[in-house]
Structure 1
Amino acid sequence: MAFNTLFSSILLQLCLASIGLAAPVSTEAMDNSWQYGTGGGLVGLIVLILDIIVFVEILKSRRTPVQKLIWCLVVFLFPVLGLIIYYLFSNRSAYQRDSGYESLA
């Protein structure tokens, strides 16, 4: 139980750190925010939102804690490429949590 709490705490800190990394890369006047890629602007905001969605999906899955940590690190370290790798190679349907509701007879 203590490991799960520690694991959740670490992943929460990684998620919060990703918000800080979404700041603009340059302090110069930003006439065109698209030139900064995932460092800021609209593209950075979209990537950040998609990363958070992936983190939540990973944490709610039935994967082992080590698998969750590895997937979160891949998405955290490589935001755009990690999203693509996760959606292509993670076998999401096999690890989806059941809804928890029983079907009516």
Structure 2
Amino acid sequence: MDNDTQRHNPHNHLCSFSGPATQFPEIDGAPLKTNERSRDMIDMQFGGLLGLIILFFDIWAIIRVIQSSAGAGAKALWIILILLLPVLGLILWFLLGPKN
């Protein structure tokens, strides 16, 4: 690949593939190479799986908050915190929430 092509390819730094590339539909005006497309698909699958895991634990935490003996106001605050900040709210609830 010559220097002009390297300079004008915005995705060049993401790609270690040096052979001929199969062209796919363009994103932002630059065609994706095969390994870039595969990496993007893996990232989406991992992100989706991580999102489902977080959703599962958030629902579990909300159920535990509802079943706790804390007052209605405390329950409402914990549920709002968990819903607005799914990861941080879950961590805070685990560390600071009702322990029964």
TM-score (norm. length: structure 1): 0.53
For the residues of structure 1 that align with 2:45 and 2:90, how far apart are their CA atoms?
20
- Root-mean-square deviation (CA), in Å? 2.2
Deviation at 1:60, TM superposition (A): 0.4
For the residues of structure 1 that align with 2:83 and 2:75, how far apart are their CA atoms?
12
Partner of 1:33: 44
**Percentage of matched positions with identical amino acids:** 31
What one-letter code is carried by the residue in structure 2 that aligns with 1:61?
Answer: S
For the residues of structure 2 that align with 1:62 and 1:89, how far apart are their CA atoms?
15
Larger Rg: 2
What one-letter code is carried by the residue in structure 2 that aligns with 1:33?
Answer: M
Q: Which has the higher contact order (CA 8 A, sep 6+)?
A: 1
Structure number with higher helix proportion: 1
Unaligned runs of 5+ in 1: 1-27, 97-105
TM-score (norm. length: structure 2): 0.55
What one-letter code is carried by the residue in structure 1 that aligns with 2:94?
Answer: Y
Deviation >6 Å, runs of 4+? none
